[in-house]
Amino acid sequence: MLGSGGDPLPIPGDYLTGHQCAHLADVSNGHAAVRLMEEAAPGKAAEWNGLLAYDYGDSAAREAADRIGAALAGYPLLDDEDLSERESENAARVLVDCYDVPEEIAADVVSALSDDGQTLCTDCHGWDIDHIMPELGYRQCVECDKWLESACDEPLHYDCAEYYAEDDCECVSAMVDGYRHGNHTVTMSDVRETLRGCEHCYPVVYPYGKNVA
């Protein structure tokens, strides 16, 4: 099986270094080569560990192999659409696993990255999603830095807001429960105002007065 440069692909496991984009291109070319060979000479080829073996005695298989090699010699990809899909799927997984992007909007973030001119390979360049996420209606929780759907400044996940509750007072917990029941976003401002308005928590949390930010 030939890689993007026209050379035989290394078997899986040999990809210990190198960029993900190059690996995905080779995987895409490999699958395309198998498909093209099967279309030209059904049953005359088999793939094993990244290598494409074919019946050299079969003229159709030889001609298909020559066409595949010639195509890769002139252009590094056999199927641009397939590679694009693989890059997008891989980028979506990386966004969810490494950037804490909610899975339901990962595809939208991938599209926004492309529209923003950012490569989908993090080995080539890191992603700047800080200006993309707000455009999609998401902000980072000021406590845990994970994303949540909100247009408010300084939003908090409900569990993160509970972190600010005093041990012997339920004012913050009651506020959070109310916001959760109404499906409203809790903000840091809400927590501060709740603590300032509580006769018990105010002197504990803000001993120097209500003007403390």
CA 97 to chain centre: 7
- Structural domains counted in the chain: 3
How is the chain split among helix, strand and coil, in percent rounded to 5?
50, 10, 40
- Inter-residue contact 52 to 33 (CB < 8 Å): yes
Same domain, 124 and 154: no
Same domain, 131 and 152: no
Assigned token pair, 62 = 């030889």
Same domain, 60 and 27: yes
Domain housing 47: 20-78
Q: What are the contacts of 62-71 at 24+ separation with CB within 8 A? A: 64/36, 64/37, 64/39, 64/40, 65/37, 67/36, 67/40, 68/2, 68/33, 68/36, 68/37, 69/2, 69/6
Same domain, 56 and 101: no
Pairing mode, strands 155-156 and 186-187: antiparallel
Per-residue pLDDT of the chain (213 residues; tens, 9 = 90+): 554 455 555 544 444 456 888 889 988 998 999 999 999 999 998 877 667 889 999 999 999 999 999 999 999 999 999 999 999 999 999 999 999 999 999 999 999 999 999 999 888 888 999 999 999 999 999 999 999 999 999 999 999 999 999 888 999 999 999 999 999 999 999 999 999 899 888 887 766 554 444
Same domain, 121 and 153: no
- Inter-residue contact 29 to 73 (CB < 8 Å): no
